Amino acid sequence: MNDKLIIAGREFNSRFILGSGKFSLNLINSVIKNADVEMITLALRRANTNGSENILDYIPKKITLLPNTSGARTAAEAVRIARLARELGCGDFIKLEVINDSKYLMPDNFETIKATEILANEGFIVMPYMYPDLIAARQLANAGAATIMPLGAPIGSNKGLLTFEFIKILVDEISLPVIVDAGIGTPSQACQAMQAGVAAVMANTAIATSGNIALMAKAFKLAVEAGRLAYLSGLGRVLDYKAEASSPLTDFLED
Amino acid sequence: MNDKLIIAGREFNSRFILGSGKFSLNLINSVIKNADVEMITLALRRANTNGSENILDYIPKKITLLPNTSGARTAAEAVRIARLARELGCGDFIKLEVINDSKYLMPDNFETIKATEILANEGFIVMPYMYPDLIAARQLANAGAATIMPLGAPIGSNKGLLTFEFIKILVDEISLPVIVDAGIGTPSQACQAMQAGVAAVMANTAIATSGNIALMAKAFKLAVEAGRLAYLSGLGRVLDYKAEASSPLTDFLED
Amino acid sequence: MNDKLIIAGREFNSRFILGSGKFSLNLINSVIKNADVEMITLALRRANTNGSENILDYIPKKITLLPNTSGARTAAEAVRIARLARELGCGDFIKLEVINDSKYLMPDNFETIKATEILANEGFIVMPYMYPDLIAARQLANAGAATIMPLGAPIGSNKGLLTFEFIKILVDEISLPVIVDAGIGTPSQACQAMQAGVAAVMANTAIATSGNIALMAKAFKLAVEAGRLAYLSGLGRVLDYKAEASSPLTDFLED
Amino acid sequence: MNDKLIIAGREFNSRFILGSGKFSLNLINSVIKNADVEMITLALRRANTNGSENILDYIPKKITLLPNTSGARTAAEAVRIARLARELGCGDFIKLEVINDSKYLMPDNFETIKATEILANEGFIVMPYMYPDLIAARQLANAGAATIMPLGAPIGSNKGLLTFEFIKILVDEISLPVIVDAGIGTPSQACQAMQAGVAAVMANTAIATSGNIALMAKAFKLAVEAGRLAYLSGLGRVLDYKAEASSPLTDFLED
Amino acid sequence: MKVNGKIILLQKDINLFDFLINNNYEISKIAVELNKKIIVKAEFKNIALNDSDSLEIVTFVGGG
Amino acid sequence: MKVNGKIILLQKDINLFDFLINNNYEISKIAVELNKKIIVKAEFKNIALNDSDSLEIVTFVGGG
Amino acid sequence: MKVNGKIILLQKDINLFDFLINNNYEISKIAVELNKKIIVKAEFKNIALNDSDSLEIVTFVGGG
Amino acid sequence: MKVNGKIILLQKDINLFDFLINNNYEISKIAVELNKKIIVKAEFKNIALNDSDSLEIVTFVGGG
C-alpha cells in the first residue's frame, strides 16, 4: 500500500520519529533498526576539544536528521541555534522549540510563531513544537511551518495524550501534517494518536526510560503502524448503552 | 525471541484470537492472513439440508478452532452445546459462554463455573468468557479452566477497556492466561491490554464493523504484538507533576 | 421537595452513609453533624473487660446503625456476626460483607448471596456489599436484599468510580436502591455517582484520610445533594465535535 | 468560615458565576436565587426601538454584572464592545472574549492579551476567557488581567474538564484567581475543578440545557461549595495497587 | 419425526445415515442429537428412525 | 441616517436625545455610538443628527 | 474457661451475668456467645459457667 | 580569546582553521560562531584570530 508521510515534499515510509536524548550512543543504532526509523532528532552543544566520539558516527547516513533548538528561550535564540545547526551541513530540517518555562517545559507559542516565520523565509523546513492551541496552529501554518508538533503531555513525563481532544481538533482543522511530540509514554498511546489521524508520532523518553530499549523501540514502530492502518480503515461504531451478539442465536436450544 | 502463548500445553505464536461472526465468508480468509491468526471462534447452529457452503471450507486447516457455546443460558445448555461441538471433530477447545441477560449480554459467572467443572472433567480445554470478578476467576481456575476470558465492555459495543483496572487485578492474581474478550473496539485498546500483561486479546466486532476489514485485521495484529513487546520490555516511569528535558541544556546560550 | 431514600420501608432524608472506621471517637460527632448523616456503619469486635469508652456513646440516638460483617470470609461467618450484631439491640439493618481476598479485599458475591438469603429469612434488612456484577445483583435481589452496595474501587483506595459504567447498568436494570460503597475518594466522585442515579453513596476512608475531617464531611454532604438534584433535573446534552455559542451574535459588529 | 473570592479587591461569597444566555428572562431570577449567584454575565446587542422588556429588569440590583465581549473577532472589536458595555453604567467588570474560530469557538489568546492590556489601562476589571496555555496565562497576568478564565471544553459543549491537567498547571503557576469557563456540563465536573483549587466556576449551557433549570442551578451551587470545602480540607491519599480495610479485623473469628 | 424443530413424516423405514444422505447433509460437517442424545457418526447406519423421534442436526457457523 | 444598520431619513433637525426619546429607546438602558465614537449620555442633547451620521444603539441581552 | 480467646480459671461457681459484671462488662453494650451459641441477655442469670466453656463477648467499634 | 566560554591566550598569530586543527576539533562535525557571527568553513583559513575574539564551537549531541 502506498501511504507515505510527506513533509515539505520529502517522502517518508516511517511515521515514527525518534528522539536521540538519554540514550548511550551505542544503543542508538539498535533503536533505529528496531523501529525502522527514518528521521531522528538531535540537539546542539559546545564541542569538546579532544576528538571525543560524536553521535553522527552512530547514525546511518540514510537517516534524516532533525536538529532541535532545545535551550532556546526566545525566537532570537532559536533562530541562532537553527542557523548553527544548518551550518553543520545536515540539511534544512529544524525542530523548532522555544521554551522559557522551567517546571513544565511548556512551549511559548508566540515566540515559536515568530521564529517559524524567520526560519521559513530562510529556507528551513520548520517543524515547530507547540502547545495544541488551534489558533496558534493556524498562525504557525501561515508563518510557513512544514508540520505542527503539538504536545501530548509535558516533555519527558510519559503522561500520555492529555491533549487528545484538542489534537483531534487540530487534525480536523489544520491541513499540515500533525505530529504528536512529547508526553507519549506507551505504544498504545502512540497507536491511539495515529488512529485519530495524526500524521506521525515522536517519542524519546518513553523508549529511553523503558526496561528494554530495543523491544520498546520495536513496540512503538508496530503500534504506530497499527494506528495508521486503523485510521486508514476507519474505526467501528461504538454502541452506547447496549450489547450486540457476535454469534447468531443458536435456535436449536429454543425447543 | 521465543515468546509463545501456551494454552493447556498447546503453543501459539499469535496472541490475537479472531471471532468469525458478522463477516461474509469470503472475507474470513483475508482476515486470517492479514492478522496471522492461529485460533478462531465459531458458533453452532442447525444445519441446512441443502449442501450450502460451510464456514469450515473457508478456514485453513492449520487454524485452531474454538467453538463457542453462544446461545446457552444455563450450564446445562452450555454443556450440551460443547458436547455437540466436539462431536464435529475439530478438537477439544471450547469457548464457554453462558448468558441469560438480553440487554447487556452479561455472562453468568455462577453457571459458567459449574459448566467449566463439568467440561474440564470431560477433557475439554475450557476457555470461559466471564465478567472480571477476581473471586469468580479463582473459582474458574479451581474448576479446571485453561484460561479466563474477561470482558472489556459489553459484547459488540466497541466501548473498550471499561474493566481495565480489574483486568490488571486478574493479571496480578490469576496464574492462568488472561485473555480479554468482548468490548475491545480499537487496536490501541488491544495494545493497552497487552501492555498490562494479558496473554492475548480476542476481537470480532471491532474488525467486522470497521471501514476496511483487511486493514483493521492487520492493525490488530500489529497492535497486539506492540503491546506484548512493551509488556516484555517494561514501560517507562510516569512523572506526575513536572517535565524532564530530553535534550541537554544548550550551554552556549548562557553567556 | 419530597425526595426520600427508602430502604425496606424506612425513610431517610440523607443519601450519604458514613463509615465510622479510622476516626478518633471524639471526631465522629462533628462528622455526623457536618454531613447531616442519618445512617452510620459499625463493626463488631471482642469487648474489653475494663469499662473503656464505647463508640455508641458518641453517636446520637436518632442515627440508624448499620453494623457490618467485616472480617467474615464465608456466608456462615457473616451470618454469625450478623446475629451477634442484632443481639446488641440496635435494629435489623446489616451491611453484609464477605471477603476472603487479602490484597484487594474483593467481596465474594457467591457467599454474599447465600448469606443474604439466610439473613433476609431471619428478618434482617440486608444491605450486601458486592462486586458490581449484574447477574449477581439480580440474585441478591431475589435472595431478599434490601439494597445492593456495589464497589466503586477497592476498599480504602480512594481510587474513585472505576466501575462507573457497570454501576450505570445496575441502576438501569435493578429495581432496588443502588448504593455505591468503597472506593469513592472525593466529593466530585460521589456527585458523579448520584448524577447517574444511584440512590445513595457511602464513604469512610475519603473523609478519614482527608486534611480536615469536618470540612470534608460537609463537602460530601453537599456533593451528594448536588448530584441528586442534577439527577432529578436531568443533565444537559453533550455536543460531540463542535461548540455552540452561549451569546447571540453581536450583529452591530457586522457593518 | 471566612473564605471569600476576591477579584480586583471586590469580595464575593459565591464561587459560581452564572451565564445568562439561552434562558427565558422569567427564569433568570429563580436561577439566581437557587444558585445564590452574585455575578452574572451579559452580552451586548443592538437595542430595539420599542420599549421591549430588558434583561436588567430581571436581575436583582445587588448582583454584579459581568458584560462579555462575545462577537468580537479581534482585540479592537473587543475593546469597542467593552467600552460600550461600560457606558451602560453597570461597572468596570468585563469578561473579555475574542473568538475568530467558527466551528470550535476557540479563543484567540494573542488578541485577548492585546485587548487585556488596553482595557486594564483604561481601568477595566478584565476577566479574559482563554485557552489554557500557561505561557499565555502569564502574559495575561502581566497585561493586567484580574483573573484568567480558561476553558474546560468548547463553549456550549458540556464535554467537561478536557483540559483538567493543564488547568491544574495554571492553578499551580498563576497567582491570579483561575476561573473555569466553558465546557463544564455537570455539577460533578464543577466540583472536580474546585477540588483542584480553581477559584470559581462559570456555567451557562449546562443549566440552560438541563431538564429542570431551577434544580440544576441549585445543584451547581452545592457542587461548587462541596469542591471548595474539599480543596480547603485537602483530599485523601490514593492507594495505587491495593486496598485497605476500613474496619478492624474481627479477631473473634480467628479461633 | 421432528427434524431441527420441523415436523416431517417418514415415508418408509430408514436409518439415520441414509436419512442424512438423502437430505443432502454433509456428514463430515454435522453433529447429530437424537432425542437429546448425541449419536456418534459410526452409529448412524445402525440407528433406525421413527416418527416419534426428535432429531437435531447442527453445524458450525461464524460466531464470536 | 443609518441606525443600527438600517437607513432612515430624518424629517427635521433633531438632536440625539430627542431622536432616542421619539423612538422609544430607554435612555438608562442603552449605550450609543455615533460614527464609531461613543457618546456619553450627558452629551445627547447637544448632538445634532444629520443624514450622513451612523448611529449604533446597544443594550444588554442574555449571554454567557 | 476460654474468654475471648484467653484461658482463665473460674475461682468459684458463677453465672454468666455475675461473671460479666465482676469483669466490668457493660451488659447493655455487649453480645455474648457461649460455646458458639448466642445467649440472650434475659438468660444471663440462669447460665452457670464452667471451665470447659468458651465465651465470646463482643461490642461495636468503628468500622466502614 | 574566549572559546566556548573559557578564556585562553593566543600564543601566536593564528587563523581559525589552524586553531581548530591544533585543538583537535573535527572540522566536518562542528559549526563556528565568531563574535556571534557564523563563519562558513570555506572562510576558516582566511580568518585571523585575536585575543578580543569570542568563539563558539558547537556540534550535535543526543536530544529529543
How many CB pairs (< 8 A) connect C and D?
Answer: 284
pLDDT of residue B249: 63
Judged by a CB distance cut-off of 8 A, whether residue D89 touches chain G is: no
Which grid cell is D31? Answer: 436561577
Contact list, B87 vs chain E (CB under 8 Å): 31-32, 38, 40
Over residues A235-251, the mean pLDDT reads: 81
A204 and H64: CB-CB below 8 Å? yes
Closest-approach residue (CA) in chain C for F2: C255
pLDDT of residue A118: 98
Contact list, D87 vs chain F (CB under 8 Å): 31-32, 38, 40
Phi, psi at C194, each rounded to 5°: -65, -40
pLDDT of residue A121: 97
Residue B238: is it exposed, middle or buried by C-beta count within 10 angstroms (0-12/13-18/19+)? middle
Binned at pLDDT 50, 70 and 90, residue C188 comes out as: very high
pLDDT of residue A248: 77
Q: Give the pLDDT confidence of B126-158 residue by residue, as tens digits.
A: 999 999 999 999 999 999 999 999 999 999 999
Chain D interface disruption, residue of C101, C188, C240, most D CBs within 10 A: C188
F5 and C252: CB-CB below 8 Å? yes
CB hemisphere CA count around A34 (13 angstroms)? 20
pLDDT of residue C114: 98
Any idea which residue has 480586583 for its cell? D8
Contact list, B22 vs chain E (CB under 8 Å): 62, 64
pLDDT for B254 beyond 90? no
Chain G interface disruption, residue of D249, D253, D254, D255, most G CBs within 10 A: D255
A154 and B243: CB-CB below 8 Å? yes
Over residues H8-33, the mean pLDDT reads: 91
Tell me the C-alpha distance between C225 and C240, whole Å: 28
Which grid cell is D193? Answer: 475543578
pLDDT of residue D234: 95
Over residues A136-142, the mean pLDDT reads: 98
Neighbour subunits, D (≥3 Cβ pairs < 8 A): A, B, C, F, G
Residue B169: is it exposed, middle or buried by C-beta count within 10 angstroms (0-12/13-18/19+)? buried
Tell me the C-alpha distance between B100 and B210, whole Å: 28
- Show which of residues 209-248 on chain B sit within 8 Å of chain H, judged by CB atoms: 245-248
A155 and B246: CB-CB below 8 Å? yes
Task: Choose the closest CB to A247 out of E5, E58, E63.
Answer: E63
Contact list, H33 vs chain A (CB under 8 Å): 84
DSSP letter string over A135-185? HHHHHHHHHT-S-BEEBSSSTT-----TTHHHHHHHHHH--SPBEEBS---
- With an 8 Å Cβ cutoff, the interface of chain D facing chain A consists of 100-101, 103-104, 106-110, 131, 133-136, 139, 153, 159, 162-163, 165-166, 169, 173
- Per the model's pLDDT, the better-predicted residue between H26 and C113 turns out to be C113
F63 and C248: CB-CB below 8 Å? yes
ipTM of the complex, rounded to two decimals: 0.91
Closest-approach residue (CA) in chain B for H32: B252
A161-165, Cβ contacts within 8 angstroms, sequence gap of 24 or more: A161/A189, A161/A192, A161/A193, A162/D165, A162/D166, A163/A132, A163/D166, A164/A192, A164/A193, A164/A196, A165/D153, A165/D159, A165/D162
Binned at pLDDT 50, 70 and 90, residue A251 comes out as: low
Q: Which candidate in A33, A95, A103, A221 is catalytic?
A: A95
pLDDT means over runs of 10, chain E (64 residues)? 91 92 90 94 93 93 92
Mapped onto helix, strand or coil, the DSSP state of residue C84 is helix
Chain H interface disruption, residue of B244, B247, B254, most H CBs within 10 A: B247
Judged by a CB distance cut-off of 8 A, whether residue D69 touches chain F is: no
Over residues B159-183, the mean pLDDT reads: 96
Contact list, C237 vs chain D (CB under 8 Å): 158, 209
Chain C interface disruption, residue of A171, A237, A241, most C CBs within 10 A: A241
Mapped onto helix, strand or coil, the DSSP state of residue D143 is helix
H63 and B255: CB-CB below 8 Å? no
B135 and C103: CB-CB below 8 Å? no
Alpha carbon dihedral C152, C156, C159, C165, in 10-degree steps, equals -10
Judged by a CB distance cut-off of 8 A, whether residue A251 touches chain E is: yes
C139 and B100: CB-CB below 8 Å? no
Judged by a CB distance cut-off of 8 A, whether residue E38 touches chain B is: yes
Task: Choose the closest CB to A134 out of D106, D110, D173.
Answer: D106
Short-list A133, A143, B246, A169, CA closest to D137: A133
Contact list, C82 vs chain D (CB under 8 Å): none
- Per the model's pLDDT, the better-predicted residue between C228 and B89 turns out to be C228
Catalytic annotation present for B95: yes
**Angle formed by the axes of helices A109-121 and A134-143, to 10°?**
20
Judged by a CB distance cut-off of 8 A, whether residue G63 touches chain D is: yes
pLDDT of residue D50: 67
Task: Choose the closest CB to D246 out of G4, G58, G64.
Answer: G64
pLDDT of residue A134: 98
Which grid cell is G40? Answer: 440472650
Handedness of CA G28, G31, G35, G41 (dihedral sign): positive
Q: Nearest C-alpha of chain C: how many angstroms from G58?
A: 4
How many of the other CB atoms lie within 10 Å of CB of B122?
Answer: 15
Contact list, B51 vs chain E (CB under 8 Å): 24-26
Contact list, A155 vs chain H (CB under 8 Å): 64
Q: Which candidate in C22, C61, C95, C218 is catalytic?
A: C95
Judged by a CB distance cut-off of 8 A, whether residue A137 touches chain H is: no
The residues, any chain, with a CB within 8 Å of residue A61's CB and separated by 6 or more, are: none
pLDDT for C253 beyond 80? no
CB hemisphere CA count around C175 (13 angstroms)? 4
Which grid cell is D140? Answer: 495575561
Neighbour subunits, F (≥3 Cβ pairs < 8 A): C, D
Which grid cell is C31? Answer: 462528622
Alpha carbon dihedral D186, D187, D193, D196, in 10-degree steps, equals -140
Q: Nearest C-alpha of chain C: how many angstroms from B62?
A: 38
Which grid cell is E10? Answer: 417418514
G58 and D252: CB-CB below 8 Å? yes
Tell me the longest C-alpha to C-alpha distance in chain F.
Answer: 41
Phi, psi at B38, each rounded to 5°: -115, -15
pLDDT of residue D250: 57
Contact list, B242 vs chain D (CB under 8 Å): none
Q: Give the pLDDT confidence of B66-83 residue by residue, as tens digits.
A: 999 999 999 999 999 999
Tell me the C-alpha distance between H32 and A66, whole Å: 19
Tell me the C-alpha distance between A136 and A130, whole Å: 8
Q: How far is CA F17 from the centre of its chain?
A: 8
CB C135 within 8 A of CB C173: no
Tell me the C-alpha distance between A36 and A221, whole Å: 7
Q: Give the pLDDT confidence of C89-127 residue by residue, as tens digits.
A: 889 999 999 999 988 999 999 999 999 999 999 999 999
pLDDT of residue A180: 98
Tell me the C-alpha distance between A15 and D113, whole Å: 36
Query: B touches H (3+ CB pairs < 8 Å)?
Result: yes
Q: Which candidate in B4, B22, B61, B95 is catalytic?
A: B95
Q: What Cα–Cα distance (Å) separates residue C110 from each residue in A60, A239, B111, C71, C142?
A: 62, 30, 11, 16, 13
Q: Which residues of chain D have pLDDT under 50?
A: none
Binned at pLDDT 50, 70 and 90, residue B2 comes out as: confident
pLDDT of residue C44: 94
Task: Choose the closest CB to B133 out of C109, C159, C173.
Answer: C109
Closest-approach residue (CA) in chain B for H54: B255
What amino acid positions of D are annotated as catalytic residues?
Answer: 95
SS (H, E, C) chain G: CEECCEECCCCCCEEHHHHHHHCCCCHHHCEEEECCEEECHHHHHHCEECCCCEEEEEEEEECC
Over residues A112-118, the mean pLDDT reads: 98
Indicate the range of B138-152, C236-250, G34-48 predicted with least confidence: C236-250
**Angle formed by the axes of helices C25-34 and C213-233, to 10°?**
30
pLDDT for B242 beyond 90? no
Closest-approach residue (CA) in chain D for A113: D110
Any idea which residue has 504557525 for its cell? A140
CB A183 within 8 A of CB A209: no
